Amino acid sequence: MPSNRRHFLRQLGGLAAGFGAASTGLSFINSPNEDFQTKGHTSYPDFAPAPLFFTISLAQWSLHKKLFAKEMDNLDFPAMAKNTYGISVVEYVNQFFKDKAKDEKYLAELLKRCNDNGVKNHLIMCDGEGDMGSPDANVRNQAVENHYKWVDAAKYLGCATIRVNAFGQGSAEEVAKAAAESLSKLGEYAGKTGINVIVENHGGYTSNGQWLSGVMKKVGRKNVGTLPDFGNFCIKREGGAQWGSKCIEEYDRYKGVGEMMPFAKGVSAKTNDFDEQGNCIETDYVKMLKVVKSAGFKGYMGIEYEGDKLSEEEGIKKTKALLERVGAMIK
């Protein structure tokens, strides 16, 4: 791994200097503002912000420690996203309201809080609903049906999409065939209400960009796609575990994201650690955002901070600042 300084220079090399992330979430060219401030003014003039090619959203998993510790509730999420982080688009994780998918009173309250705070619901990330890539037809059909309630909840909340998993036991070919069948069936159901179904690179076969893009080609539905995550590219872990143990085989993240981007209906901006200049250590964001931009993507990029060294609040804010700074540079 290069030193922090070399990593920083590599990220910024060849790009115009002088961009900074303002606390409002907009980036301004520094020199006119600095000159303005040296003349004794205390506020910024109306200079045009450098636009981003994507819209920042906040993935609820960024706050999973607070949620699991009961320091906040799922109903608090929309207001916190807007008032603490200045983010107006949110992505839920079904684990935090697992028994509420059919509870219209609860969903109405959640929607009210979104409307009260000017927050848009974009996505529900669905876990624990069964293996849609299982070669066993009964298992995968049950998994598909288990997701119907989340499609309906997403529609009620005004979301565009649900994120599902495509896990299964068997060979790569067997799981791919089973996953394509399940995604086609769920996609047909979701398509009736205008909801998208997307798969994230989330471990195992799904973290192989070529495998996942192959599944998408098999499905061939406009409302079925991918959610490229910048960090989830571990194909194999010690002991065959899905999570937790040491990764012993990892797919190239830039190649993987590039392979998934033609089918992307969202992007997950994963971060774990930062250097002194605010750059993500594990992912070169200049390189990665160029991959995303080159695919013509203009949708939602969800912040998903998953590190341990910073608090969740600090990690979210640093990720947002990084996206604003680097995003404004990518032309």
Q: For residues 82 and 310, what is the distance between their CA atoms, to the nearest angstrom?
A: 21
Residue 40 confidence (pLDDT): 39
Task: Please report the pLDDT score of residue 32 as a whole number.
Answer: 33
- The stretch 171-199 carries a mean pLDDT of 98
pLDDT at 244: 66
Helices (H), the chain: 4-12, 30-38, 64-68, 77-85, 104-117, 137-157, 172-191, 209-219, 253-260, 285-294, 312-329
Query: Which residues are registered as beta bridge partners of 226?
Result: 199, 264
pLDDT value of residue 25: 38
Query: What is residue 246's predicted lDDT score, i.e. its pLDDT?
Result: 85
The yes or no reply on domain 51-329 and CATH 3.40.50.720 is no
Percentage of the chain beyond pLDDT 90 is 79
Kindly report the pTM of this predicted structure.
Answer: 0.84
The whole-number pLDDT of residue 245 equals 72
Which sequence spans correspond to the domains of the chain? 51-329
Instruction: Judge whether 268 and 304 are in contact, CB under 8 Å.
Output: yes
Rounded to an integer, the average pLDDT of 181-190 is 98
pLDDT category, 304, cuts 50, 70, 90? very high
Ramachandran quadrant class, 47 (left: phi over 0; alpha: psi -120 to 50; beta: rest):
beta
> How confident is residue 9, by pLDDT bands cut at 50, 70 and 90?
very low
- Structure confidence by residue, pLDDT tens digits, 23-44: 333 333 333 333 333 333 333 3
Averaged pLDDT score across all residues of the chain: 88
Banded model confidence at residue 132, pLDDT cuts 50, 70, 90:
very high
**pLDDT score, position 241:** 61
Which string of b and e fits 274-300 if b means at least 16 CB within 10 Å?
A: beeeebbeebbbbebbbbbbebebebb
Predicted confidence (pLDDT) per residue in 263-289, tens digit: 999 999 999 999 999 999 999 999 999
Q: How is residue 72 written in tokens?
A: 């906040």
pLDDT of residue 83: 98
pLDDT band at 238 (very low <50, low <70, confident <90, very high): confident
Statement: residue 230 has pLDDT above 80: yes
Q: What's the CA gap between 162 and 122, in Å, rounded?
A: 9
Distance CA 246, CA 284 (A): 22
Mean predicted confidence (pLDDT) in 290-317: 98
The string of pLDDT tens digits covering residues 77-88 is: 999 999 999 999
